[in-house]
Each structure stands twice: as structure tokens, then as C-alpha cells.
């Protein structure tokens, strides 16, 4: 059970309280620190999946705990964004993203009970949603209010925030779209009458 990929996944879960504490530290770098912790969690997510395949260490426990770790970190970040920004569209998007995760989890459990879980496996659209969501959340957590030195010039912080807002908006659209796509695939099973 305690394979290297699973240890990395458990490390990601342990990063959640670190992420929350750093975000609320009364220091000037708390947002950047929280961004760095979230970035580390995102990298560890990619790493544990890669190592599970490379080392042939896939396991039932890993298949269970990996998405749990992902969802816990993302939900924690979305709740922080609701509190930090207090903008109606940030809040509605965050609630939609959280609701989507609950909906898809329930849908997968239902389809598993029918022996058809593979029909709603992670889609390409779901992967795009996750990528846009991670980039958007990281940018909104960081919310730099200073220009970023980038090799030979400074990258204006306004552009970075525009990019973060854009990824967050794209993630919102893909969240809703992918939820409908999963629901459409599962609908024939959901519509069946119990005999």
C-alpha cells in the first residue's frame, strides 16, 4: 500500500493544512507562499501518476486516494477564493466547480454499481478543465500586485491577473460542459426503471 506514488499522494494531503496556514499568515508574502504550496501539490499530482505507471506501482488504494487528495486541495483553494475575493462571479464559479465534483463522484459511484464505471472515465475535456482550473486558481491565489521580472523585462502584474481570470473563466465553462457530457453518457442508466 505504501508505494512511492501513494506516499506522494499522502504528502499532498498533508500539504492542505500547510496551504491554509500559509495563506492566513500575517506576512506580506502569504499569497505567494500559498501559491507555492498549491503549485507543489499540483506538481506532486502529476508526479505520483507518472511514477505509478513508470514503476508499475498502480494500486486500488492509489486509485481511491489520488482523486480524494486532488479534490480536497482544490475545494480548500476554492473556498479561500470565495472568502478572499468576495466577487459574485468568483463565488458562483467556485460553487459550480465544487458541485460538479460532488455530482461526478456520485455519478461514478452509481455507474460502478451498474458495472459501467468505465463509461464515464476521465475524458479529454475533463483534463482540459483540470489544467485550466489549476492555472486559474494558482494565479488568483497569488494575485501579484507587482511586475514580475522575466529575463530581460518586467511582466506587468495586470496581464498576469488577466490570464488568471481567463483560465478561471475557461475552467468554469469546461466544468459545466463536462458535467453535462458525463450526465448525457450516464442518462440511459439513470432513466432505467427498477424491475
Average pLDDT per 10 consecutive residues for the chain, totaling 195 residues: 86 95 92 94 88 84 86 95 93 94 88 77 80 94 73 72 94 92 86 70
**What is the predicted pLDDT for the residue at 151?**
61
Residue for grid cell 458562483 = 92
| Continuous segment of H or E residues that includes residue 2 | none
According to DSSP, residue 119 is labeled G
**What is the predicted pLDDT for the residue at 158?**
82
Q: What is the DSSP string of 59-71?
A: -HHHHHHHHHHHH
**What is the predicted pLDDT for the residue at 152?**
56
Amino acid at each position: 500500500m505504501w508505494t512511492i506514488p501513494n506516499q506522494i499522494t499522502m504528502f499532498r494531503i498533508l500539504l492542505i493544512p500547510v496551504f491554509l496556514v500559509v495563506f492566513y499568515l500575517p506576512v506580506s508574502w502569504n499569497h505567494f507562499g500559498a501559491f507555492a504550496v498549491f503549485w507543489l501539490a499540483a506538481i506532486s499530482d502529476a508526479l505520483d501518476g507518472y511514477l505509478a505507471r513508470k514503476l508499475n506501482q498502480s494500486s486500488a488504494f492509489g486509485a481511491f486516494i489520488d482523486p480524494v487528495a486532488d479534490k480536497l486541495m482544490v475545494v480548500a483553494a476554492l473556498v479561500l477564493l470565495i472568502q478572499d475575493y468576495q466577487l459574485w462571479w468568483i463565488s458562483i464559479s467556485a460553487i459550480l466547480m465544487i458541485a460538479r465534483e460532488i455530482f461526478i463522484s456520485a455519478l461514478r459511484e452509481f455507474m460502478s454499481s451498474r458495472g459501467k464505471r468505465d463509461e464515464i472515465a476521465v475524458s479529454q475535456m475533463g483534463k482540459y478543465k483540470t489544467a485550466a482550473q489549476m492555472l486559474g486558481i494558482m494565479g488568483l491565489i497569488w494575485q501579484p500586485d507587482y511586475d514580475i521580472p522575466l529575463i530581460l523585462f518586467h511582466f506587468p502584474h495586470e496581464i498576469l491577473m488577466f490570464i488568471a481570470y481567463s483560465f478561471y473563466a475557461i475552467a468554469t465553462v469546461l466544468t459545466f460542459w463536462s458535467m453535462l457530457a458525463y450526465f448525457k453518457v450516464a442518462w440511459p442508466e439513470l432513466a432505467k426503471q427498477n424491475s
